[in-house]
Amino acid sequence: MLRKSVETRDWVNTIEPRNVRAVMKRVVEDTTSIDVQVGLLYEEGVRKAHSSDSSKRTFSVYSSSRQQPRYAASYTPSAPMDTNLLSNIHKLFSERIDIFSSVEFNKVSVMTGIIKISLKTFLECVRLRTFGRYGLQQIQVDCHYLQMYLWRFVSDENLVHFLLDEIVGSSAHRCLDPSPMEQSVIEVICERG
């Protein structure tokens, strides 16, 4: 469902996002349904403590691919940093997420595995597309919506944050006119549902 939603859309010529795409709502509904079904078969499992603002976390469009750290200028005062180099350095030092790790026989572990594979699929599909300004903004809206709901199903909410950051960063990297949407507008769109 996620793969088809990315592959069948014209991301370069799409209109300005006014709502969350129906497929994202369906992903959350299906995840909730799967959570209930898995809960009938397995015990809860262990979760890391969630931060109090998990559903309000914001994404930086340039988090993993284009953002220059504040300290970068001190190392090369006369030359701008190569964004691809920064992206690769960031990936070297960020914690690696093993998407296909073993799954324990409890609800949280099963749900974490399902969500990791789903978001990785979404990420890989995004990496194969080109985006226009509004395509990037739609991805921002969709990822914020997913982040509002999916974090509560996984063992470590940072997994969801990291993968969604990668999706938004990847779409920004593949965008012809990367003009991110204001965070306040994204929040209003997502709260309307």
Kindly report, residue by residue over 132-158, the tens digit of the pLDDT: 999 999 999 999 999 999 999 999 999
Which phi and psi (to 5°) does residue 175 adopt?
-100, 135
| Number of CB atoms found within 10 A of residue 65's CB | 23
Contact residues for 96 (Cβ-Cβ < 8 A; gap 6+) = none
What tokens were used for 112? 């974490």
- How much is the pTM? 0.80
Place of tokens 């990297």: 173
The string of pLDDT tens digits covering residues 6-56 is: 999 999 999 999 999 999 999 999 999 999 999 999 998 877 776 656 555
